[in-house]
Chain A
Amino acid sequence: MPAPAERRIIFKHIDEPGYTPDLACYLRHGGYAILRKALAMAPAAIIDEVKKSGLRGRGGAGFGCGLKWSLVDRKSGKPIYLVVNADESEPGTFKDRYIIHQDPHQLLEGIMVSSWANNVRQAYIYIRGEFPHGARILEKAIAEARAANLVGPNVLGSGYSCEIYVHRGAGAYICGEETGLIESLEGKRPYPRIKPPYFPAVLGLYQCPTIVNNVETLCHVKHIVDVGGEEFAKIGTPGNTGTRVLCVSGHVRRPGYFEFEVGRITLGQLLHEVCGGPLPGRTFKAIIPGGSSAKVLRWGETFTLKNKDGSTRTLAVEDIPMDFDTLAACGTMGGSGGVIVMDDSVNMVEALANINAFYAHESCGQCTPCREGSLWMKKITTRMVHGQARAEDGALLLGVADQIAGRTICAFGEACSWPTQSFLAKFGDEFRAYPGTKATPRPESVPLA
């Protein structure tokens, strides 16, 4: 059941008794009416509505959807592709899978509306390899929609044709990076491309202009066409419009997925009122607010933020509204909406060892800093938790992370170094005093210079 503070648009029918993923059920709930409406609109008008809506991408970066669409090269004469990023791999994130599993036609309708708006004739759903069940559901849903003339040639007699294909990944986190995804879709190793020159909007899939959007983002497009961009922009807060799904995992009484108007709920409300607060006898310690790549927040810390008029205000961590801009101002990010909660039972060195192991395993290996740095950080934290910690390991970890962030081909460099940087910044004492720490550094590690 939805929590009282929720406003469910995307997740309206998720977990609703009797709601099934087949086409008949979707049509009973008014499905594909918005596709009909969209097909009667001019494509440019739909793009306009999306721009007016202020919709920001729900995959992680929060890039404006209308802006992304407006960057597409429409004069090249090449086909424009829409690629749906269903490679939901960010640790702590589990929202797209519920859309795919329980309401696949909502996604398909969003894809068709967006395709029509952008003159796309082929759309690909790139779904992560670990979602075999989701891939089967999507295949079935596409077949149903195609049989009903909702996807495929001459959609609903409009003369517009668009095919949707499902492509399964082989199990690599890096395929969620849009250019890595495109390489994988082309049948290659998912090495992210250098930008410039390979911006997907100009040189994407098969060197053609390509739009890569997250599953949740495309579902929102459907609702924007439904209510209109201006109306949609009234949901949420200015600059942070609409609703978004937050996935809460970790040490709360009632973890789960919830949909709120963006910025209309604070971190404290989310954890205490919606998720039931900490487990009995425990207290909150650390929160990662946007998937494991986001910088960690320390429970109890306060932030001094600048107001628009130049004055400053102080914000406690529990009062942070869960939007894009405030989280960014607090030095972290809304990311993919995966809120990971750690309480006082957690040792931060061990938590970081876990995260580092993930990123070392998932680094694609293309560019030097991420390839070597992520494994080095893992080796350090693994050694630390196996009783070989040294007093200087914290500083070393930070030094390694600082050599990665900002110097790599793709954002994985930041994704793998931000946890280390933020853990050290906010819980550095735990690293300096981790059990097993030797008092003196080993001689060979002392700089000669």
Chain B
Amino acid sequence: MSAAPPTDLVPVTIDGQEIAVPKGTNVIEAARRVGVDVPFYCYHPKLSVVGNCRMCLVELGQPAVDPATKAPVMDPVTGRQRINWIPRPQIGCATSVTPGLHVRTQTPQIKACREGVMEFLLINHPLDCPICDQAGECKLQEQATGYGRGYSRFIEQKNVKPKRTQLGPRVMLDDERCILCSRCIRFCKEIAKDDVLGFTDRGSYSTLTCYPGRQLTNNYSLNTVDLCPVGALTSTDFRFKMRVWFLKQTPGIDPESSAGANTVVWSREGVIYRITPRENDAVNDAWMADSGRELYKQVRAPGRLAGVRVAGTPATLDAAVARAGELFRAAAGRVAVVGSGRSSVEEQWLTRRLAEALQAPAYLVSRVGEGDGLLVSADRNPNVRGALVTGLLRALPAQRLDELAAAIDAGRVTTVVSVGEDLAAAGLTPAQLAKVQVVHLGTAESPTSQAAAVLLPALTVFEKAGCFVNQQFRLQRFQRAVPGPAGTHDDLESLARLIGAAGGAAAPADLAGVWCELAAAVPALAGRTFTSVPDLGLPLDPAPFAGLPFVEGPGLHFTPARA
């Protein structure tokens, strides 16, 4: 039995299927809900509607009523209310549903419309898919297959336009491939607030270009590449590096700030080729910053740590852990732990366990920059809130490790465990660094790794799985995209071994085990497992931390709580 739809739902009929959709839904989205595919190029749910591609033409109709009596007009043949169909096809993207709206997408007229638009889009488009970088993720390819005629009637010369226009440092334009959908223009204007793109010339000679003297330099420019339905806009970093159908997609989280944009990490045979946004309407819509897309380069950067060292010489993990145990015992009561806002929730939990086993104070390194009001927040650590949730921290971290420096100077601390942080960059002087024994988990060479008594090479965010808690207190999961280089060790394993060396109770060395502890110890995560974290994140209750002076300003889908 069916309940009466709530008042904000509108009943519509699409290709004979009846469905109630929220008021304001357009025909494309309504059709999607009943599994009817309405093809389009220019429409994008997150941008304004312009209706220029004409691919989403559908037939619309309304049930007929007698103008005088308002009584339904019945069809004597079918016995149902007659539908008054609008003779001209209408665009689905700009049509909001109205009660009783009827939509037809499979009529001969609509088939002809789609074939016509496909033919028009292809006559001046280079048909050289084998050498086009967009092949495999090209809407023209897909929809030509689905809705085109399969042959061409065009024998004239194609238009000639610029083939390699560098629109900005990261975006390349092939104007001949452009289908003039204007998504990139609208994105720059409406989302990036950097109105630099436009068309010159007119008709079929229309050409996408930057305004005179301007460049597409904003930190969101690569979203235009994602938005481009064809091969017109390509990333200078990625173009012609790899065919997209060879690439494996792994869900990730942008670690550059506490905004926590959802990402897809594209890799093949252990090598990452690009990072693109993953749609999450509660966090980043369909966007991410350019700066977050280059971070994968740290995976294979020069200076990547890939071997355990004890006092600067290569060693086994067992030897390193044993040496760390000696250092902990020698410095009992004079050990400090420096955790990281870049560590995952799971690592922060084990860091807390380590600090407790050592009865050592835990510090965190703060990173604060300027927020851009969109998807790069002022807090450049992705997971400071994770440290609060796991209890590693009780207050927000200070800008520098001055307290630790003073303790070292006073001789109260002689051994420091640094989980992923370069202590020199965090404010310790070379002299202070020289005064202490350092046990360091790190991914790249730094003054701290050089000085470390025990060095455990760790994994980058792309080589491990875990969770971050973003500025909205949304717990978000990332998965391992590629394996770490030979010689590295999983951070959870290293931390669990260090806890053992510190004399603590046996600690789990894998995600499932850590989550058993988290679910038991952290009320907000009670009953949860790593695999049960929803793909689009799990909102946590921010109330316990409401009084803390978080640094983030307003951003996309984020309004800071101000006292």
Contact = CB atoms under 8 A, between A and B. Distances in A.
Of A360, A361, A371, A444, most buried by chain B (CB within 10 Å of CB) is A371
A408 interface: yes
A167 B34 CA distance: 49
Contacts of B202: 172, 362-365
A392 to B, nearest CB: 9
Given A364-B202, A371-B203, A407-B54, A194 B149 contact: no
B57 A194 contact: no
Interface residues of B, number: 43
A360 B203 contact: yes
B133 interface: no
B6 interface: no
A376 B151 contact: no
A445 interface: yes
Interface centre among B51, B55, B179 (most CB of A within 10 A): B51
B203 A367 contact: no
A84 B54 CA distance: 30
Residue among B52, B123, B180, B206 facing the most chain A CB atoms (10 A cut-off): B52
A365 B153 contact: no
A196 B117 CA distance: 21
B331 interface: no
B154 A376 contact: yes
Contacts of A399: 153
A379 B203 contact: no
A433 to B, nearest CB: 20
B343 interface: no
A449 interface: yes
B247 to A, nearest CB: 31
Contacts of B113: 403, 407
Contact of B54 (A363, A368, A444): A368
B156 interface: yes
Interface in A115-129: none
Nearest to A188: B198
Nearest to A372: B120
A54 to B, nearest CB: 23
Contacts of A276: none
B120 A363 contact: no
Interface string B39-63: 0000000000111111101000000
- Of the listed residues A196, A360, A368, A408, the one surrounded by the most CB atoms of chain B closer than 10 A to its CB is A368
Contacts of A308: none
Interface string A184-227: 00000101001011000000000000000000000000000000
Contacts of A380: 156
B156 A194 contact: no
Contacts of B152: 445
A407 B115 CA distance: 12
B116 interface: yes
Interface in B112-159: 112-113, 115-117, 119-121, 123-124, 149-157, 159
Contacts of B337: none
Interface in A381-405: 383, 396, 399, 402-404
Given A368-B121, A399-B153, A407 B199 contact: no
B562 interface: no
Contacts of B159: 375
Contacts of A194: 49-51, 91, 94
A448 interface: yes
B483 interface: no
Contacts of A444: 155
A369 B155 contact: no
A368 B53 contact: yes
A379 B157 contact: yes
A407 B116 contact: yes
Contacts of B157: 379
A406 B88 contact: yes
Contacts of A445: 152-153, 155
Contact of A363 (B112, B117, B204): B204
A374 interface: yes
Contacts of A371: 120, 180, 203-204, 206
A376 B206 contact: no
Contacts of B199: 189, 365
A447 interface: yes
Given A360-B203, A372-B120, A376-B156, A407 B51 contact: no
A409 B51 contact: yes
A298 B57 CA distance: 34
B123 A376 contact: yes
B205 interface: yes
A341 B54 CA distance: 35
A445 B156 CA distance: 11
B206 A367 contact: no
B116 A360 contact: no
A173 B372 CA distance: 42
Given A364-B202, A365-B205, A408 B54 contact: yes
A72 B317 CA distance: 80
A442 interface: yes
B156 A379 contact: yes
A20 interface: no
A367 B204 contact: no
Contact of A449 (B94, B149, B155): B149
A366 B179 CA distance: 10
Nearest to A442: B155
A334 interface: no
A360 B204 CA distance: 8
A362 B179 contact: no
Nearest to A174: B202
Given A365-B205, A368-B53, A449 B151 contact: yes
Interface string B331-353: 00000000000000000000000
A363 to B, nearest CB: 4
Nearest to A383: B156
Contacts of A409: 51-52, 54
B371 interface: no
A362 B203 contact: yes
Contacts of B50: 194, 366
B387 to A, nearest CB: 48
Contacts of B116: 369, 402-404, 407
Contacts of B119: 403
Interface string A423-449: 000000000000000000010110111
A277 interface: no
A189 B206 CA distance: 12
A104 interface: no
A365 B203 contact: yes
A363 B180 CA distance: 14
B203 A375 contact: yes
B214 to A, nearest CB: 17
A445 B152 CA distance: 7
A249 to B, nearest CB: 25
Contacts of B153: 396, 399, 445, 447
B57 A407 contact: yes
B89 interface: yes
A402 to B, nearest CB: 8
Contact of A367 (B52, B150, B156): B52
Contacts of A152: none
Interface of B: 49-55, 57, 88-89, 91, 94-95, 112-113, 115-117, 119-121, 123-124, 149-157, 159, 179-180, 198-199, 201-206
Given A375-B159, A406-B89, 8 more contacts: A360-B203, A368-B120, A371-B206, A375-B124, A375-B205, A376-B123, A379-B156, A442-B155
The 8 lowest CB-CB distance pairs between A and B, nearest first, are A403-B116, A372-B120, A365-B206, A379-B156, A375-B204, A363-B203, A194-B51, A367-B52
29 contacts: A194-B51, A360-B204, A362-B202, A363-B203, A363-B204, A365-B202, A365-B204, A366-B52, A366-B180, A367-B51, A367-B52, A368-B53, A368-B117, A369-B120, A371-B180, A371-B204, A375-B205, A376-B123, A376-B156, A380-B156, A383-B156, A399-B153, A404-B116, A408-B54, A409-B51, A409-B52, A409-B54, A445-B153, A448-B151
